[in-house]
Structure 1
Amino acid sequence: MVKNPVPLRRKAIALASALLLAASLTACATPTAASSPSSGPSSSSTSAPTSAAAPVEFQTRKVVNAEHELVFHVVDGKLPALVLDAGGGLSSSYWKDLAPRLAKATGSKVITYDRAGEGESDEVSGPFKVENAVSDLEAGLKELGVTKDVVLVSHSIAGEVATTFVNKNPGWVSGAVLVDANVPDFFSDGMLAAFEPLIEEQRKALMAQASTKNNRQLLAVLVDYAPVHRAFHQATWPKDVPVTVIVSGETPFVDSPEAAGLWRDAQAAFAQAGPNRKHVVAEGTSHENIVTERPEVITTAIDDVLKAVR
């Protein structure tokens, strides 16, 4: 039974767009090209430098899993490998400035990739399933020979992928940095119950629009949204895997201090729920642009994790 359903309903109505963003699909964003585009049909190619300030070379690798093709970009280096996973509606280009910086600063192998339906990777029909996203990431890392000493750097909806991945693959992940990411604590029964009718309204509105790649990805996430996230609410993080939780200053809820407080509380609760966890607030940042507004907060968190696991 939901307590105080009227206030929750009002909160959900006021924050429909923002909560979808918290679920990490940026409906209004147009996915940009991958940071290191493939130069041809081969399974491996080397791109031009991604940035004049950090002229490192990415190798583009195409991996097939479950009959669809995924695009990965790799800077070679030592282990632990940094695997950067962007939020919903965002491709590997999200990391175009940070990835070269990390490669140069850490000497680590750095991997970015486009999840199915994002960037240059193939679309997959049907609802978004985190298990499928995990399978795709597993396939790519196996192809790249990286099945241990992985540090996940996960933004927004990629927090759900990271949580599922680390539990499914014990021994693969040495540590993680969650960048304003979805954590299980946020998706309470009360919030989901209040928001459920709005999910249906949003779904109908999208169905009435012309079909686009971005709309199809949003619709895929909306399928069974409440039951999927009730299940995610029960997920836990392994005690032996260090994790740093970074929270943006604005949170995904720019227009609601109340909902922003719930987001911050959930992030803090997750960080306090086990050993080897840190909680960092990146003041002056927004949910989507945190990587460009305060990259040093993310690089410092990654450096701390690397020091702990090397």
Structure 2
Amino acid sequence: MSRTTPSRRSLNRALSALALLAVAAGGVTACSDNDSASKPSAPASAASPVSPGTAQAGEAKLHMVDNGGHRLAFYVTQGNDSTIVLDSGGGEYSSQWKGIAPELHAATGATVITYDRAGLGKSDVVPGAWKAESAVSDLKAGLKQLGVTKDVTLVSHSQAGEVANYFAKDNSKMLSGAVLIDANLPQFFTDEEIPRLVAATQPEVDAAKKDPDKPANRQLISVTEGFAPAHQAFHKVAWPESVPATVMVSEKTPFDGSPQDAQRWRDAAASFVQEAPNRTLVTAKGTSHEVPTERPDLVLKAIEGMFAAQH
């Protein structure tokens, strides 16, 4: 049976194995401006717990934190004792939230934190396969060094959904709620779907291996290593019933060109929501996978609603 090829850019953003590449002008290029991963990291400086007065009102302050010998860039807009953490989609970094973060801070008064996952933005490259568990370790280490231990509203787009699920599983008491925006969810990664995803990305992986030192290619290779077993394990992860969640699904999904995969994406979100009464499903009408960019108003409404419901 033949299958229709999904939208490559959206597919690449959504799935951790496809996180960084998009096909443009007949060649493979990094999405957005993610070649910044090749830029030198900011000078190392010890992170200090966030507290009132560390920056001017509404201003994001850079904190470099250390986790196991590599540095990560965290940006903190100081507010009250409640915290909203914005976690970017695959291949994106803190700049994805540059329009949303200040609006959230102004609307809620909360401390707003964005950050660059390893190998992106100002954060150090970490050799080897990308693992959601390692990303969780980085996020938790950063929050701990910044003095954030509770009352966190976690907002995750796309690939960051994997980080969110593992983080919530082991750190549910830190979370007051979550907003998952067209996010990778365990229910999607079935034994039927995983081989389809691997096959869909193999041409890009093969091309990347011809120039492995290019930042975008390095990232793609790292997230495709061990993809199948990693996502078989992810499929078994259960979101804690104590943490409320809003799940926002784009209308077109990352699979606009593949009706079967698109329906599986929608079904996964619906299944996730149906597992507990404190979960809500929202469809972002008229959007592709790039919901934070296309409809920041909807994203702000969802986050502010979750935040208000818990405070």
Same fold (TM over 0.5): yes
Q: Which shows bigger deviation, 259-268 or 225-234?
A: 259-268
Q: Which shows bigger deviation, 208-217 or 15-24?
A: 15-24
Cα displacement string for residues 27-46 of structure 1 (whole angstroms, at most 9, x for unaligned residues): 13131759xx998654469x
* Distance in 1 separating the partners of 2:307 and 2:192: 37
* Distance in 1 separating the partners of 2:299 and 2:99: 12
> SS of the residue aligned with 1:181?
coil
Q: How does 1:150-299 map to 2 (within 5 A)?
A: 150-209=152-211, 211-288=213-290, 290-299=291-300
Give the conservation status (yes or no) of the 8 Å contact 2:58–2:78: no
Alignment correspondent of 2:34: 31
**What is the identity, as a one-letter code, of the residue corresponding to 1:270?**
F
Identity %: 47
> How many correspondences in the alignment?
289
Which segments of 5 or more consecutive residues in structure 1 lack a partner in the other structure? 1-6, 46-54
Deviation at 1:16, TM superposition (A): 8.4
CA distance 1:106–1:272, change in 2 (3 Å): same
**What is the identity, as a one-letter code, of the residue corresponding to 2:296?**
P
CA distance 1:89–1:65, change in 2 (3 Å): same
* Distance in 2 separating the partners of 1:204 and 1:99: 37
**What is the identity, as a one-letter code, of the residue corresponding to 2:185?**
V
Deviation at 1:204, TM superposition (A): 2.5
Cα displacement string for residues 256-298 of structure 1 (whole angstroms, at most 9, x for unaligned residues): 233222211111111112120000011122212x113211211
Alignment correspondent of 1:22: 14
Q: How does 1:92-111 map to 2 (within 5 A)?
A: 92-111=94-113
* Distance in 1 separating the partners of 2:278 and 2:47: 37
CA distance 1:111–1:64, change in 2 (3 Å): same
Moved over 3 A (4+): 15-21, 37-45, 194-202
Structure number with higher relative contact order (C-alpha < 8 Å, ≥ 6 residues apart): 2
* Distance in 1 separating the partners of 2:7 and 2:199: 10
Q: Normalising to structure 2: TM-score of the pair?
A: 0.86
**What is the identity, as a one-letter code, of the residue corresponding to 1:112?**
T
Which segments of 5 or more consecutive residues in structure 2 lack a partner in the other structure? 23-30, 49-56
> SS of the residue aligned with 1:254?
coil
Alignment correspondent of 2:306: 305
* Distance in 2 separating the partners of 1:66 and 1:146: 19
**What is the identity, as a one-letter code, of the residue corresponding to 2:304?**
D
Q: Normalising to structure 1: TM-score of the pair?
A: 0.86
> SS of the residue aligned with 1:119?
coil
Deviation at 1:193, TM superposition (A): 2.8
